[in-house]
Amino acid sequence: MTPAQPKSPERSRVTLHQLMLPEHANALGNVHGGEIMKMVDEAGAIAAMRHAQRQCVTIAIDSMTFDKPVHLGHLLVCDARVTYVGRTSIEVSVKVHAENPITAETMLTNSAHLVYVAIGEGGRPCEVPKLELLTEEDRRQWEEGEFRQKQRLARRARSAP
C-alpha cells in the first residue's frame, strides 16, 4: 500500500489541555514530571497518527528539560507539530505551556522532540506520507529535524554491537 499524499504540518497539529489537579502532584506539590511526559507523548502520538493515518509507536524521546514547574490549578497545554518524516518515522515537536486559567498568564515550561514509527500490516513499520513544506518555518523545522535524525542514527550506530 502506498502512503497518502503529502501533508502539511498544520494538518496533523494537535493541542491538548488538561487541568492539573491534586492527583497530578509530586511530593513538593507541583505537577509530577512523569505526568507532563505522559501528556507530551500522548499529544505527539496523536499528531503522528493524524499524519500517518495509522497507529504509531514511540521509538525515541530527545532530551526533555523541565525549565519551570507547573502548579496545581494550572492548565497544562501541549502543542504538537510534525517537523520531519523519514520513510517510516515521524518526528514531532511538542511545546509545553502552563496557563493560569484565572489570569490567562502562560509560560513555556519545556519542550521535546519525539520520534514515532507508523505500524502497518502484521505489526511491521510502514511507509508514511511525505511532509509538505509550505512556509519558511516548515522548512526551518524540517532542516533542524533532519539534523537531529542524523544525530540519532549516528548515536545508534555507535552503540550497536
Tell me the per-residue pLDDT of 123-160, one tens digit each, with 9 for 90 and over. 999 999 999 999 999 999 999 999 999 999 888 888 87
Check: pTM over 0.85? Answer yes or no: yes
Dihedral Cα 67, 73, 77, 78, nearest 10 deg: 60
Please report the pLDDT score of residue 3 as a whole number.
Answer: 56
To which residue does cell 497545554 refer? 77
- Cα separation, 87 vs 126, in Å, equals 8
Please report the pLDDT score of residue 17 as a whole number.
Answer: 97
Query: Residues in the chain with pLDDT < 70?
Result: 1-3
Please report the pLDDT score of residue 87 as a whole number.
Answer: 96
Q: What dotted CATH number matches 9-159?
A: 3.10.129.10
